Amino acid sequence: MQLAVCPGSFDPLHNGHVEIIARASNLFDEVIVAVSPNMHKNPMFSVEERIAMAQETFSYVRGVSVKPLGSGLLTDFCREVGANALVKGLRDPKDLGYESPMATMNRHLSGLETVFLAADGRYTHLSSTLVKEVHKLGGDVAEFIPRAVQRRLQDRRR
C-alpha cells in the first residue's frame, strides 16, 4: 500500500490545500493530512479545531484521514504511520526554494521521498496567512476556503 503524508499547519485550511490533497488521494492509496502545531506562527485556530475542520472537509474524499502531527520530527511521524512519501504543494518557485532543502533533509534522515504537486492556477495566490489577514480586515474569503472553515470564521465574528 502506498501511503503519503501531507503535513501543514492548515491555519486555516484553504482551497489550495484541498486541491493538492484531493489530487494526492488519486496518486496514493491513503493520504494522511498531518496537522502541526507550528510554534513559529500565531495560530487563529487550535490544533483540535484545525483537525475537526480538515476531517469535515475531507470526509467525502476516499482514502484521506487527518491526524495530529505532534512536535517531533516529521520523518519520525512518517515512520510511525508507515508512509512512503510526503506530498507538498508548490505555488511558485519561491515555494520550491523553501521546500527543496527540507525534502533533501527528510530523504537524508530516513529515505523518505517528497512528491511536489504544482498548484492549480486558481489557487497560486492563496496562503493561510493571506486568508487570515483579509478575514481580520473584514474581507470576504468564502470563495477561498471550505465550508467547515467558513462556518468557524463566521462563528468567531459573532
Give the tens place of pLDDT for each residue, 2-48.
999 999 999 999 999 999 999 999 999 999 999 998 767 678 999 99
Task: Give the domain extent around 55.
Answer: 3-156
Prediction pTM value:
0.94
**Mean confidence (pLDDT) of the chain:** 94
62 is in an annotated binding site: no
Q: Which of 14, 25, 50, 91 is catalytic?
A: 91
91 carries a ligand binding annotation: yes
pLDDT at 1 over 90: no
**Is 79 marked active-site?**
no
* Rounded mean pLDDT, 139-153: 95
Catalytic residue among 41, 108, 136, 151: 41
SS3 for the chain is CCEEEEEECCCCCCHHHHHHHHHHHHHCCEEEEEECCCCCCCCCCCHHHHHHHHHHHHCCCCCEEEEECCCCCHHHHHHHHCCCEEEEEECCHHHHHHHHHHHHHHHHHHCCEEEEEECCHHHCCCCHHHHHHHHHCCCCCHHHCCHHHHHHHHHHHC
**Active-site residue, from 14, 17, 135, 152:** 17
Q: Look at the chain and report how many structural domains it folds into.
A: 1
Q: Is 128 one of the catalytic residues?
A: yes
Q: Is 123 annotated as a binding residue?
A: yes
pLDDT in tens, 117-128: 999 999 999 999
What's the pLDDT score for residue 158? 58
Q: What is the CATH number of the domain that holds 76?
A: 3.40.50.620
40 is catalytic: no
Q: Does 17 appear as a known binding residue?
A: yes
Q: Is 94 annotated as a binding residue?
A: no
Is 110 part of the annotated catalytic residue set?
no
